[in-house]
Structure 1
Amino acid sequence: MEENQPKIGKFSWTYGIILGVVGIIFNVMLMMAGMHYEQTLPIQLIGISLLAVVVLFAISQFKKANGGFLKLSEALKIGAATAVVGAIIGLVYYFLLTNVIEPDFMDKAGEIAKVKAFKDNPSLTQEQWDQGMEMQKKFAYLAYPFILIIQTILGLIAGLIGGLIMKKEQSTY
């Protein structure tokens, strides 16, 4: 049976690419609607839902290709690896967006955040805001690994849920 078992990597790459492309399409839709600066809860939940749906679909397709069998460890690997591939594609898009497509993206996003911050916290001073922005610029490079880690954790969670629901191991005798 081992020789005929499908490769987890194949499913992770295939569905990770699909996840990355779907994420880019979603972000382009947000851009077309003028909402790509917003990080509201509904937008974040849609992104997480897209990840979960693609990971669950990848797991179900692996199980189908594996004769209806699935181990929890396989589901976890597929979930994490699919999320990593999707995240890398998404980060490449984000890099291109902020450096090539719309080089002033970070400035515009900062202005929108500033208006909201001053509205939500009237005691905030311009000096405090400037200090916060300066600190944020110093650590901006950490956004990439942080996003990768968060996506991997979300993929593991989706893989765990999918694995617990779809798990079916072969009998040993």
Structure 2
Amino acid sequence: MQQNALLKNSMLYGAYLGLSLILVSVLFYSLSFENGIVSMLVNYAVLIVWVAVGTISFRDNKLNGFLSYGKAYTSGILIIIFGAFITSIYMYFFVTVIEPDFMNKVIEKMTEDLQEQGKSVEEIDMAVSWTKKFSTPLMLTFMTFIGQVFWGALLNLIVAIFLKKKDNRTAGPTEL
């Protein structure tokens, strides 16, 4: 029963996470916002919020307000996996339908940046070649999923610390 509740809760909050990350992506894209650091930090903040809200909901509604670190981490990672799956599907849709020229623009920008850094033509050509090899729609979709799960799992290590809540009602008397 608890596993079923955990999966349902994780799918719900994973959907909220995925849709929120898509909304942030669409917003930044429509505003032509290109600051990678700010974008990354906003995405991490969205991830942390939905993992926390989802795990707190599970803890308080299904576990009587108590949650071990392991269960907190499990809840968070499942939310992250479901959210990453949704955003990965969006990434595939984005690079194949919405902006099929996306990778060409990324390569152009990368080439300009490398030229500004004074890289040789050979170095630039090699960088472009490697980027093209790993920039197919399926590869971008896969890398989106893996990247979100990896960074989400690392952030979740910290988040779970703050979400665990020990049941002290069953503990014996404490000494002063």
1:26-66 residue CA offsets vs partner (Å, 9 max, x unmatched): 0110111012xx36211111111111111011111111112
- In structure 2, the partner of 1:41 is 37
Give the letter aligned to residue 5 of structure 2.
Answer: K
Aligned residues: 167
CA displacement at 1:127 relative to structure 2: 2.7
CA separation of 1:172 and 1:9: change in aligned 2, threshold 3 A:
farther
Q: Indicate whether 1:59 and 2:59 are aligned.
A: no
Q: Normalising by structure 2, what TM-score?
A: 0.84
Q: Aligned runs of 1:1-173 on 2, under 5 Å?
A: 7-35=5-33, 38=34, 40-65=36-61, 66-119=63-116, 121-122=117-118, 124-140=119-135, 142-170=139-167, 171=170
Whole-Å separation in 2 of the counterparts to 1:6 and 1:166: 20
- Which is bigger in relative contact order (C-alpha 8 A, separation at least 6)? 1
CA displacement at 1:142 relative to structure 2: 4.5
Q: Normalising by structure 1, what TM-score?
A: 0.85
Deviating beyond 4 angstroms after TM superposition, the runs of 4 or more aligned structure 1 residues are 3-6
Tell me the SS of whatever aligns to 1:7: helix
CA displacement at 1:143 relative to structure 2: 4.2
* Structure 1 unaligned regions, length at least 5: none
1:111-156 residue CA offsets vs partner (Å, 9 max, x unmatched): 122212221x11x122321221112222335544443233223333
Contact 2:6 2:75 in 1 (8 A): yes
CA separation of 1:52 and 1:134: change in aligned 2, threshold 3 A:
same
Amino-acid identity (%): 27
CA separation of 1:30 and 1:155: change in aligned 2, threshold 3 A:
same
93-102 or 148-157: bigger deviation? 148-157
Q: CA RMSD in A?
A: 2.2
1:12-33 residue CA offsets vs partner (Å, 9 max, x unmatched): 1001100110011101101110
